[in-house]
Structure 1
Amino acid sequence: MFVTLGCGFNQKPPERMDPKVIEKVVQEMADFTPDMGEIEGVPLLKGICDVWDTIHNFQARDGDIVVASYPKSGTTWMQEILDLIVLDGDVEKSLRAPGFVKVPFLEMGHTSLEVANTMSSPRILKTHLPVQLMPPSFWEKDVKKQSDWLLWATAPLFLCTVTWGNWFDHVIGWWKAKERHKILYVFYEDMIEDSPREIHKVMRFLGKDLPEDVVQKILHHTSFQSMKNNPMFNFSALSETVFDQSVSTFMRKGIVGDWKNHFHESQNLIFDKEYEEKMEGSGLAFRTEL
């Protein structure tokens, strides 16, 4: 499935977003509770389940770009790279709103979807939904999907048990979907190993050809340290009721192989066995270290 982005890249991006809209999105995030529900057998936060009809009926547009990833897999990094590519590297325009507002989160409730509906095309959207729960309109439209950009090596046993369902089902589901749809699979380890190479890969996927000095600007602005220190991306501007930075910073270490500092040898053996069984025959392989 090929995508025609038309004149979207030439449209003037919106000016800085209305502070009241930003405040409304933040409040909706604060209202989420850890209570759980279920949609089609997939465990999800109850707040997501409560607005499921709105999410399910969301209307995709031709030219939408979707970052589909498992939670805590580098989503914020990729969405900022995509935003700067769309904006031809204009950093000032990229600061029009915090990352969690300017790139609407499909399952984060009514306000986030309202923001998406007011945006000009091409829109950048993000989701942690497994492939089978994506709103049907995305399969009906000529939509580009930047899919499953994964950091699997950071506490993988934990990732298998958090909300948004099972990690194995999630990554294999999106991997198989690329056989039927226009999906680019990008790996966190590859990004850490050679960010310029992977950014050029994403640009080709989007049909963009930017000068090398612009690519270098994107690399600088989206470096881990730059984003970690930027309140537009690191969630430090949010209250503790929304995100408690004293427990863990939103952007943690930005490295590959930190699992070695958390897994005992016996735990690693258990995980390796589970990994081999669940991934057998998928054709999907992850690197756990560089």
Structure 2
Amino acid sequence: MDTVEVFNGIRFPGFIHTQESLRAACSFLFQDKDILLVTFPKSGTTWMQQVLSLIFCQGHLWPIHHIPNWQRAPWLEQSNLVKMLGSLDPGQPRLLTSHLNAEALGPAVLRSKARVIYMARNPKDVLVSFYHFHKLANFLPDPNSFEDFVDEFLEGKGFFGSWFEHVKGWLGLKPDLNMLFVTYEELHQEPRTTLQKLSDFLGHPLKSEEEDFVLEHCSFSFMSQSSMVNYSLVPKEVMDTSRGRFLRKGVMEDWKKHFSPEQNEKFNAIYQAKMGDLGLHLPWTMD
């Protein structure tokens, strides 16, 4: 359960990743109609999986109520991919998910016309959510302390590597990919506008009543109660929900309840050094 796979210098949970599955993801043959969701962990992945599923379900809720989200939009790098691909609806575009960085997965995507949705989130909220997830997931080590977890995150030494390099790497490929960049904060603050942007990008525009349907079934209240989304189906040996909830809060700026002034100052300095030259307006504040 607590094994680790190191791939291209980055740590992955060995429980759900193998060297073979990671290599297979990097050489995956994308179809031009594929839709790939890419995120750094705890950036709204589950939320966006639900949104994408709803956009394409055409008002039919059976998949939403009966098929877990990880099966509707499987992870490319996980060891159960082949099984998951076999269960996808052949009449719909394949919805795929990945936490891999651009260095690893980018070459395979560049060989196709697949649509890529890259979702990002305020890294401080990512860090806090990931910290709590480490306590919940038995395939990840318990953090020694929040202070140590902050240092590990800023150094890019945690599981799945550096948040900074992940975001910058994928954004660097944006000119060469059919990519939409979207943020957790946009979806939270302007859900309908963001949904319209997504559906237009996917070539699947929605009517007003269809938008209402999607927004109702991707709300935090709905998802937190749905066993198809909230990971309550996962055995306790894998994810111990007595230690916390997978869908914990669904809010912005929870980091303010965790960071000390010194940690905030240190984070901001490193953020500015690594991200200050991006020239990209991001809908979050660092203070």
Superposition pairs of residues 1-290 of structure 1, within 5 angstroms: 33-47=1-15, 48-51=17-20, 52-109=22-79, 111-117=80-86, 119=88, 120=90, 121-134=92-105, 136-154=107-125, 156=127, 157=150, 159-160=153-154, 161-286=157-282, 287-288=284-285
Helix, strand or coil at the partner of 1:246: helix
Identity %: 29
Larger deviation: 247-256 or 81-90?
81-90
**Would you say the 8 A contact 1:89–1:215 is kept in 2?**
no
**Would you say the 8 A contact 1:148–1:171 is kept in 2?**
no
Segments of 5+ residues of structure 1 without an aligned counterpart are 1-32
Q: Note the alpha carbon deviations across 1:213-242, whole angstroms, 9 max, x for none.
A: 110011001001110111110011221111
State the shift of 1:135 in Å: 6.7
Tell me how far apart the structure 1 counterparts of residues 238 and 201 of structure 2 sit (CA, whole Å).
Answer: 35
Tell me how far apart the structure 1 counterparts of residues 73 and 153 of structure 2 sit (CA, whole Å).
Answer: 23
Tell me how far apart the structure 2 counterparts of residues 183 and 166 of structure 1 sit (CA, whole Å).
Answer: 21
Segments of 5+ residues of structure 2 without an aligned counterpart are 128-149
**Would you say the 8 A contact 2:125–2:254 is kept in 1?**
yes
> What letter is aligned with 1:71?
P
User: Do the aligned partners of residues 166 and 45 (structure 1) sit closer, same or farther apart at CA in structure 2, a change above 3 Å counting?
Assistant: same
**What is the RMSD of the two structures over their aligned residues, measured on CA atoms?**
2.0
Tell me how far apart the structure 2 counterparts of residues 94 and 265 of structure 1 sit (CA, whole Å).
Answer: 42
User: Do the aligned partners of residues 44 and 169 (structure 1) sit closer, same or farther apart at CA in structure 2, a change above 3 Å counting?
Assistant: same
Tell me how far apart the structure 1 counterparts of residues 226 and 111 of structure 2 sit (CA, whole Å).
Answer: 37
Larger deviation: 267-276 or 85-94?
85-94
Number of residue pairs aligned between Structure 1 and Structure 2: 257
Runs of 4+ in 1 over 6 A off after TM superposition: none
User: Do the aligned partners of residues 56 and 155 (structure 1) sit closer, same or farther apart at CA in structure 2, a change above 3 Å counting?
Assistant: closer
Helix, strand or coil at the partner of 1:62: coil
Helix, strand or coil at the partner of 1:179: helix
Tell me how far apart the structure 2 counterparts of residues 236 and 132 of structure 1 sit (CA, whole Å).
Answer: 33
**Would you say the 8 A contact 2:41–2:126 is kept in 1?**
no
> What letter is aligned with 1:45?
P
> What letter is aligned with 2:114?
V
Helix, strand or coil at the partner of 2:124: coil
State the TM-score, normalized to the length of structure 2: 0.83
Tell me how far apart the structure 2 counterparts of residues 134 and 113 of structure 1 sit (CA, whole Å).
Answer: 17
State the shift of 1:150 in Å: 2.7
Larger deviation: 41-50 or 265-274?
41-50
Larger deviation: 226-235 or 240-249?
240-249
